[in-house]
Amino acid sequence: MSNYQVRPATLRDAKAIAQIHTASALEAYRGIVPDDQLKAMSSVEKRQAYWREAIEYCEPQVQVAIDGDKIVGFVGFDRSRDEKSRQTTGEIWAIYAAPSHWNKGVGVTLWDAAREGLLEEGCTNVTAWVPLRNERALHFHEMAGFKREMSTAKTAVIAGIKIEEVRLKRPLN
C-alpha cells in the first residue's frame, strides 16, 4: 500500500523525531491551543531529550517511518500506562507524521508496525489517549478501528497546558 519503510529508532533519530513531534503538534493544535501556549510547546530540544531517553531505554518502543532516506513519522508504543489495565493491554503512546506527509499513508504504516509489535509482546487490546479537540487524531484512530470510551474523559496537563483527553480502545486481532 505504501512505499514507507519502518524500522526501530536509533539515538541518531531523536532530533528528527523531536522536529516531527513539534511541527506536527504545532500544526494540529493551531486554533485549539492559544498561540502563547503553542509557543511554549515548541521546544525541539526538550522533546529531543525525551525521545533520546525513550529510545535508549525502549520505553516506549519507538519506530520511525522512512521515505527514501528521510524520517517522515514515528510511533511510540508499549504496555498500557493506565493503572488497573491488564498486562495484555498495549498503548499507542504517540503517533505522528510530518505535516508534509499527512494523508499519505504514514500513519497507517506506523499503526501497522505498532500493532505487529504489540501482538509480538502478547497484547490482545490497545488503547490511545487523544485530545478531544484534535479531530484529525480522533478520526485517524476511529478509522483504524478504535472506539471512544467517553467515561474515561479527563483533563491532562501537557507542557503546562490543560487538555481534555479521551481514551480510545480496540482489540488487536
In the chain, what percentage of residues exceed pLDDT 90?
77
| First-to-final CA distance of the chain | 20
Section 144-160 average pLDDT: 88
pLDDT band with cut points at 50, 70 and 90 for residue 87: very high
Q: What is the DSSP string of 49-114?
A: HHHHHHHHHTSSEEEEEEETTEEEEEEEEEE--STT--TTEEEEEEEEE-GGGTTTTHHHHHHHHH
**pLDDT at residue 147 above 60?**
yes
Mean pLDDT of all residues in the chain? 92
In CATH, the architecture of 5-126 is: 3-Layer(aba) Sandwich (3.40)
Section 104-123 average pLDDT: 97
Section 21-34 average pLDDT: 86
Overall size of the chain counted in residues: 173
pTM of the model: 0.92
**pLDDT at residue 43 above 80?**
yes
Q: What single DSSP character describes residue 124? A: S
- Residue 111 sits at φ, ψ, to 5 deg, of -60, -45
- List, as own/partner pairs, every contact residues 130-136 make where C-beta atoms lie below 8 angstroms and the sequence separation is at least 24, other chains included: 130/165, 130/166, 130/168, 131/29, 131/32, 131/163, 131/164, 131/165, 132/164, 132/165, 132/166, 133/32, 133/163, 133/164, 134/28, 134/29, 134/32, 136/28, 136/102
- Can you give the residue ranges of every domain in the chain? 5-126
Section 82-91 average pLDDT: 94
**pLDDT at residue 2 above 70?**
no
Section 59-83 average pLDDT: 96
Grid cell in block for residue 77: 508504543
Section 2-20 average pLDDT: 95
